[in-house]
Structure 1
């Protein structure tokens, strides 16, 4: 993660991934204003030439930032995803889902670039893009622009808070294995472990200055790489025959596979901040393009990790492959300790963004003199809620599938398809209205993933 961004420009569209902080440095002053008719027509305004960046990123730096945002602890969940698909079905499923996710990211970025040209602003974040699309879209939708932006804002906030709850579950499961190894029959329950983490989480989440949190990103990255290498060592150690695992499994488990892969792979919140800070943003899309190259690498790495991990551990593969490592061996114990530290720091970084979103949408209801105490209470309440959710939800892999199916399918699949369709509605839907059919199909697929994934995940959770 690069710390070269100007933190004073950190705004509502900033996103902290588990690998770092990506701020958007654009202040939009046209959102919510009435758009004149001639503004809707194609403009000669070039948003790329009007971006004033203090520290623009090269194509290689942007590739590295986007890659780091997609390659996090989610890759450790891929073996658990493959057990809900099978070896061959998992490989092809990962490739297909990777292509779909990449195309939806393309739609979001392309729409953001085009609506920036229409709105005459240098660049836009996710929620601002959605608002601008509605403002400049068909007349019946324009009055909904502010409401939709607020909805996307809150959806992003709860998506990240849901990921934070997943992190707490991984923390609890990892620490439980370590404690159980040294202290048998200790009588510690899941609730006790959650309470144990609650106090340090409450302390760290009270940090409001980003510069005190950002340095932990680099440390977490190093720990994740070391953990990944140790996991590969154990996977390749005593590796079984490839035909020991089924090529496909019951199709009813496929929604869990899809939800887990989308959760692991989807980095929809970070793509626009990365594109907005590029020296040559026109290189982000296209072929090969930064996006296509990055997602190709991501899909290959996720596919390899999922395939090898599933062949090695089969149906025993857990929500994080680190949980399958033998606790009695020193390298495996190191991996478990590393993942605990990395995920804890990731939690504190991720938690910053939803709090910024929530505070921005609620501070007008609080008197100025009570702002500090109100923020402290707000942070404590939401941190406690994530820990409470972790104490309530029992299994990591089911919760990851639920989070991916519910939140990431909406922000990563449904919303980009719909806003691209709305933006194209009065500007041309292509020959034979192919944009209409294609975007509708993507939105329908995203809805299918949301409904079936959530349903299957809830069934799995309730059956435990």
Structure 2
């Protein structure tokens, strides 16, 4: 996928993701009025929609909740695995440059990172993770400024890059783009934690402002990153920064620290889904606490094993995006909107949602197949 078409497809997927976020927020507002609750997460909204929607769906309300939670867990653990691969790949490049004789296999760096990740994931309260998240955001923002400093220098003419590569790479790109935009699990919690939740919606609300800002950054990094490095661009733009430049190596280390901090925040979501059900099997007291810490440690090690099994950053991102993020961001929201407003669904709404659902399912099938096929080819060679 090349620079001009990359931006066009990114705009389309960004727009579809925005539609999904908006429809989910509106459906949540409807469900809150029906049930009288002040807050509902994604799974709550789906369950309530089935309970209060068409009579045939009432028996499947609990299944709908579990299905959403399943895909949320798969997606969040997928993010965690990608973060491990990203951090290890960048750290390996720095060490290999300055200490070539001491360079290790990438899986060794993944194992070293467990020394930091496991204690971080022992933090049980989200408010205690806030300083970690704040530091990660500062490091990421600073790194992004420096990345633009590098990729905007000595740019070739736009016409020097082809507008389109091949249709074969489109499914891989679909998974990568959906992975980048997927954040639907955080939309409702963010609205809930605002002092004035009404400011989340609207033309200049937090949702629209955030989506535009993030989209512009994605477009800029994708467009100028490819324009700068062309066919040799790697799974992370940081891996293309000049190894001989100390500032570039500092950017990589800053991103490694930022990603390790973000890992703990992403890990918090599936723990909040899984552990409450498991905790009922343990008595209150120290045994329950020990069991929770043990379970957290085991889950972190599971993500390590998955990351070590597939240490290909670009292909791992595409696989996670196509397999799980596509359903959360492109399939479930339009289905939820149809259930919420049934039977008073207009023709335009019906057609729009049907097209998005079909597009999401095709992307899921094609993207997952292409990602698995590319991974098999990569390992076979």
* Category of TM-score, reference length = shorter chain: over 0.9
Task: Rate the CA distance shift 1:288–1:216 in 2: closer, same or farther, 3 A.
Answer: closer
Per-residue deviation, 1:286: 4.0
Per-residue deviation, 1:288: 4.5
Per-residue deviation, 1:202: 2.1
Task: Rate the CA distance shift 1:277–1:207 in 2: closer, same or farther, 3 A.
Answer: closer
Match among 260, 269, 277 for residue 176 of structure 2: 260
Preserved contact between residue 113 and residue 123 of structure 1 (Cα < 8 Å): no
Match of 2:349 in 1: 435
Match among 315, 318, 328 for residue 411 of structure 1: 328
Per-residue deviation, 1:131: 0.8
Per-residue deviation, 1:122: 2.5
Preserved contact between residue 172 and residue 193 of structure 1 (Cα < 8 Å): yes
1:390 and 2:304 correspond: no
Structure 2, unmatched stretches of 5+, are none
Deviations 1:191-250 (A, max 9, x none): 222222223222322232434322111111111111111111110122222222110110
CA distance in 1, matches of 2:188, 2:112: 37
CA distance in 1, matches of 2:39, 2:212: 26
Match of 1:318 in 2: 234
Match of 1:457 in 2: 371
Match of 2:16 in 1: 100
The RMSD of aligned alpha carbons is 1.7
Q: Any residues of structure 2 matched to 1:70-81 within 5 Å, and which?
A: none
Match of 1:222 in 2: 138
Per-residue deviation, 1:414: 0.7
Match of 1:353 in 2: 269
Preserved contact between residue 163 and residue 403 of structure 1 (Cα < 8 Å): yes
Relative contact order, higher structure (CA 8 A, sep 6+): 2
Q: Any residues of structure 2 matched to 1:145-156 within 5 Å, and which?
A: 145-156=61-72
1:120 and 2:60 correspond: no
CA distance in 2, matches of 1:286, 1:213: 30
Match of 1:130 in 2: 46
Higher percent of residues as helix: 2
Moved more, 150-159 or 219-228: 150-159
CA distance in 2, matches of 1:106, 1:405: 21
Deviations 1:401-444 (A, max 9, x none): 11111121111111111111111223x011xx332222121111
1:89 and 2:8 correspond: no
1:176 and 2:97 correspond: no
CA distance in 1, matches of 2:186, 2:60: 25
Per-residue deviation, 1:262: 1.5
CA distance in 2, matches of 1:293, 1:212: 27
Q: Return the TM-score normalized by structure 1.
A: 0.78
Preserved contact between residue 122 and residue 293 of structure 2 (Cα < 8 Å): yes
Q: Return the TM-score normalized by structure 2.
A: 0.94
Runs of 4+ in 1 over 6 A off after TM superposition: none
Match of 1:402 in 2: 319
Per-residue deviation, 1:309: 0.5
Per-residue deviation, 1:283: 4.3
CA distance in 1, matches of 2:198, 2:148: 37
Q: Secondary structure at the match of 2:299?
A: helix
Q: Secondary structure at the match of 2:369?
A: helix
CA distance in 2, matches of 1:317, 1:158: 28
Match of 1:237 in 2: 153
Q: Any residues of structure 2 matched to 1:36-55 within 5 Å, and which?
A: none
